[in-house]
Every structure is written in structure tokens, then in C-alpha cells.
Copies of this chain bind each other. A is one copy, B any other.
Amino acid sequence: MEDSDEAELTQFLRDCPAADSSRKVEAPESRREPGHPLGSGARVPPDEGSDERDARILSRSRPADFQQHIAAPPPPSPNRPRSPWGQLDPYDSSEDDKEYVGFATLPNQVHRKSVKKGFDFTLMVAGESGLGKSTLVNSLFLTDMYRDRKLLNAEERITQTVEITKHVVDIEEKGVKLRLTIVDTPGFGDAVNNTECWKPVADYIDQQFEQYFRDESGLNRKNIQDNRVHCCIYFISPFGHGLRPLDVEFMRALHQRVNIVPVLAKADTLTPGAEVERMKNKIREEIDHYGIRIYQFPECDSDEDEEFKLQDQALKESIPFAVIGSNTVVEAKGRRVRGRLYPWGIVEVENPSHCDFVKLRTMLVRTHMQDLKDVTRETHYENYRTQCIQSMTRMVVKAGRGAGLGLD
């Protein structure tokens, strides 16, 4: 009988009402009435002291051999099943196994699945040519994405239209696989007349959204290739006295389509203190003034410690990141650093007093890569999709009107 449990001595229901979600051990708020139609067995009134009572007192009618089994010292607690989460198991002991349901392992399950599946990330770089886009990408990802790149001479570059190229590389670190796609906009800004030179780039981003929209609306959605652009690093020239008109036009054309992260390129041409700060302030003012919406860092978790919050704040305040790229390692007094060797000294890419390269990489890879993907999926793609459906609806209505169906 399902309810005969109630006849037993101690009731130990753990009570978890929706309003108070902490796990507490409480007596149930309502006990079933003794006159219950399905109730069976002798009912014992609740006895608060019963916990201390020895179960043997209640087992007089047990057969002798069983009595012996009960009277014997309790068998050692059964071996705890081996956890697939190893050291990361949120539950420490077999006592925890009894006290808890176990769903705090859900993040571990998600973690493991994500590792198994692998990650992908699509990064676009844009901005004038010659600002070190390729070098910076190679520096960021410690790889040579552009081994086969053919640089064009001036004549070729004049006739060249903005041609968008894709470089894909599979990399692995500490057992985590990443398919990295770099979308490059090489000839950008090289032409004499750059009117609407952002258009092919905007079209490219939209095409990836469109393809994804088709795929996710299709019948078979397994193995959809997701080529949506998760981030666009926009390179700003250090010689521009702030933003150039082309920069403004470009970023405004793209800011609703993609997460823009502006960087101040080739920062080794500006002195790190005064000149870089002045330039950054100017750029931030202009970004604000022209209503350009660059990628917004999410608010720091309130449960982070103060030191980390300050660091997160510093990261936000460094935008646009002043960067220097280099794929060469130079040596100074036995210390090997990635940097650029000038006659007047070594510029260290990873030295925070030289530039913001480490900050950019920290943000882009270590802390916010997943957020960039989420914002792309939840905001930029959803915006595209909404507009797409709305314009499709308008077309259908218009066609209906034309056919006299009176759909409006």
C-alpha cells in the first residue's frame, strides 16, 4: 500500500516550497487525516522523541535470524558510486548523497557536453589595410592564419573590390577543441572613393544570418553549419585624430548586426600614457556622439569578489584597446618576450604597461567569448530574423491584396 509509510515512526519530509527554495528539513505542513479512505496500518501519533528510540524495540515479531541481522552492528555505508565529475563533483561525501538530490551536477553535465561537442567562434577583422589586422589575429591565436596570403601591389589594390576571405583553423588547448574562423576584409579603405565600402561587409554578415535562418527553418536541422559572425574587431588608425568619417560610417552600418570591439591599432606609435589616453578619450567621445553602439560588456556578477570587479571595470574602461601585434619572440637579458625590437627599445606585446593586448585577449577569449556568441544569437540574429519575417509578411499581404484576397 502506497501510504503505509505513514504508519511508521519518524516522518522526515524535506520541504521545498516554491517561495523558499533553500533545502530545509521540516515537518510537513499538513498531514493526511487519520480517516483517510486509503489509509492502512496502525497509525502512531507523531512522537517528537521517536528519533532516539532503537528500532529493535519495534521488531519483537521479527524472525530470529532477521533479528540477529538487525542487532549486528550496521554494515559499513555502501561504497559511494564513482562520480563522473571527479574532483569537480559538487558533493563531497556519501553523506551528501543522502542529503541532496544531486542536481548541482547539472552545470558539470553541460560543461562536459560542451567539451565533447567542441566550440566554434567566428571573428571578423575590419579597418583600413596596413593597421596590422593579420598580425594581431596571429598574435591573439598564436597561429599563422595567413600563410598563403598574397599581398597585392598598389595597382592591383586600386582595382580590387572589397573581397571577403575566410580562414578556418582547428586548434586545441588542454583538451578543448575550437574551430576558429577569421573573416577578413582585406582591401578595405584602399580605394580612392570609399563610398559604401561597408556594404559588402554588412551583406556578408546578413548572408550568414540568412543562411542560418533557412537552415533552422528547414526540415532537417541536424549538422547545421553556423557561420554567423560573433565579433568584429574594428581597427582604428593611430594617426586619425580620433575617428575618421569612414570609421563612423562603417561602425554605424554594422553595430546592429554584429558585436563591434574597437581597437586602437599600432599603438606603439603613441606614447602609452598621455597620447594613448588622449586618443582613447577622443574616440570614446565620438563613439558616444555618433550613437555608435559597440559591444557592451555584461554586468559583472554581484557575487564576484571586489578585486575581480575592479579588474572587470578596468577592462571596460580600456576600450578601445590600444594594441600592438607581433609574432616574433625577442630576447632581452634571457627573458623571451613577444615583441617588436626597435633601435630605441623593445615593445613588449604582453606587457600591460606597453599596450592593452593582454586585456583584449582576456576579454575576447578567456572571459567573454561565450557572451559574444550569446549576444550574436539572442540579439543580432533575432533582430535580423524579426525584420526578415516582418518583410516577408508585408510581401504576402501585398500579394494577397493584388490577388484581391483582402488579407489586410
Contacts and interface: CB of A to CB of B under 8 A. Distances in A.
A131 B1 CA distance: 8
Given A107-B115, A345-B66, A333 B54 contact: yes
A16 B116 contact: no
A289 interface: no
Given A219-B389, A308-B82, A327-B11, A147 B18 contact: no
B71 A333 contact: yes
A208 B192 CA distance: 58
B326 A5 contact: yes
| Residue from the set A106, A168, A328 with the largest chain B CB neighbour count within 10 Å | A106
A273 to B, nearest CB: 16
A70 B10 contact: no
11 contacts: A9-B328, A12-B327, A16-B171, A59-B343, A61-B344, A74-B332, A74-B335, A82-B307, A101-B173, A101-B365, A109-B368
A13 interface: yes
Contacts of A365: 101-103, 105
A106 B114 contact: yes
Given A143-B14, A344-B66, A37 B173 contact: no
A370 B142 contact: no
Interface in A352-369: 352-353, 358-359, 361-362, 365-369
A32 to B, nearest CB: 8
Nearest to A339: B8
A70 B346 contact: yes
B370 A147 contact: no
Contacts of A369: 103, 105-106, 109
A318 to B, nearest CB: 12
A36 to B, nearest CB: 7
A148 B115 CA distance: 43
Interface in A117-134: 119, 121, 130-132, 134
Interface of A: 1-2, 4-6, 8-18, 21-23, 28-30, 36-38, 51-56, 58-59, 61-63, 66, 69-74, 78, 81-84, 88, 90-91, 97-98, 100-116, 119, 121, 130-132, 134-135, 138, 140-144, 147-148, 151, 153, 168-178, 219-222, 301, 304, 307-308, 311, 326-336, 338, 340-341, 343-346, 350-353, 358-359, 361-362, 365-371, 374, 378, 382, 386, 389-390
B116 A301 contact: yes
